[in-house]
Structure 1
């Protein structure tokens, strides 16, 4: 069976609160664990009213305390926002709290716009050159490399597994060169998916962490008892994507009947393109969508992405997705 994991953006709903979003995340993580999901990913975003996972390591500690076996993963930490030593300390602390359950996915996007990046006191002008150096430095801190001349405590000697995350060929090449697992953000940026996976597998060099390529890719799932209900649940995420693309992000909105059909044709086309790696419908619909996606990509792990307004419906969708995934 292809592993299923779950990506949580910890959505803050219209009329809800950050406290409720965090409580929902802990409840959903425990639910995912009981269902048999392998890994629970949390992503770093900044300056967004509808996402409560900016302090990613803190949120992972919250989720780790609510669970006991599921792996907890940054999906990811946007390394240009941070000094590698600080991340080594944070994830070394998580590894001490939840031994053998922590994964550290790294991305080079800021997870924000330029204004927020400046507020984070980061200079993003040299990301493409600096990011690989920062990844190697972070590895050294986690390994306790004495050549650094400084220790990351906690952190040193933990060898927390690193991942490279991305939506372009750059991340695939870097993950292959460093011998790290690679995850592709196909749930919102699908264009380079096939080429990136091919490059990663072709160029992969074994490392102390990983002897052969390991791939994951994200896939949106909105599952319900009927296709109509699933389409309605998906409309909240569709509204969020449109709001983001029109520079008007906010809190997650309630489902809106007929939302997609109400959009002008060009907006519908953009939405269909961005969300092409998706399955919306019943268990049978999701099963068919998942099978097609896995057959196409050959990934070792599917990262289920599913933001919904209603928490109970989201939990039900997660259960139906696992039911569909068990046939893979």
Structure 2
């Protein structure tokens, strides 16, 4: 039975007698007994855990340690945050979205006990918020990702990865199919305005990320893509050309940059230059379907049908499992990094 008593400092909180039942559950989780721990924590009302957190004084200057080597109290705060996150995923799988959100609210309060000022780069807390944003996207779609990313960015306004992720969510939400319940011009106009507003939010988030770090190439690509979707491609041509000549790009980034440049050039009527960029993309990633299809379409449109067919020939001999996934698919839909990131964080809270 968990009962309330006077407030505790962070460093003392985990060792109070009243917290023994909850601490036992957290310790089981840290030891790898995930299913039992999640089951136990789901048997508690979220309000009971909120009441416990309410009584932690913040901050406690005796909380020592670093992000890489945290004090025991902080290790336990992190573990509790991961435990409730796993609980959220469990109930989400059962279709209980509201219960999942309640568990995430508890988890956020636990992870905030481990906040630092300034927050270290790539800290546990930063990576935790990114993992939750990915989970909310996995379970709640683009809208779920957008909603939690806003919560996370309120707490970590300078996190370039979160800003970039938010831009991706907003773009996906803008382009998501909609079901019309009427065909009036008024409804269509409202949908168009909503789409534009979401793309502008993508521009704002990607622009903030790119401004903070030009090393975050994905942010630059997402900024360019969102502006292109808004019909503002001319404003990002120099940006894409600048990215294309960088020597520090990964193959996927270089490929995507050339795809976007080719689209921009084609729209400007510079067909030959667009095709040159697509050939560059194919040289970078011969298995890349998007570049080959775009190039074949351009050649066919120009009357070079035999050359267009030759560009597509490699697909005829390829098996369904050969080659690498096209980076364009990952750029649009995500790389599915959430489960791996959460598994890494889970391992980090082990004793």
Q: TM-score, normalised by structure 1?
A: 0.29
Q: Larger helix proportion, structure 1 or 2?
A: 2
Q: Radius of gyration: which is bigger?
A: 2
TM-score normalised according to structure 2 size: 0.28
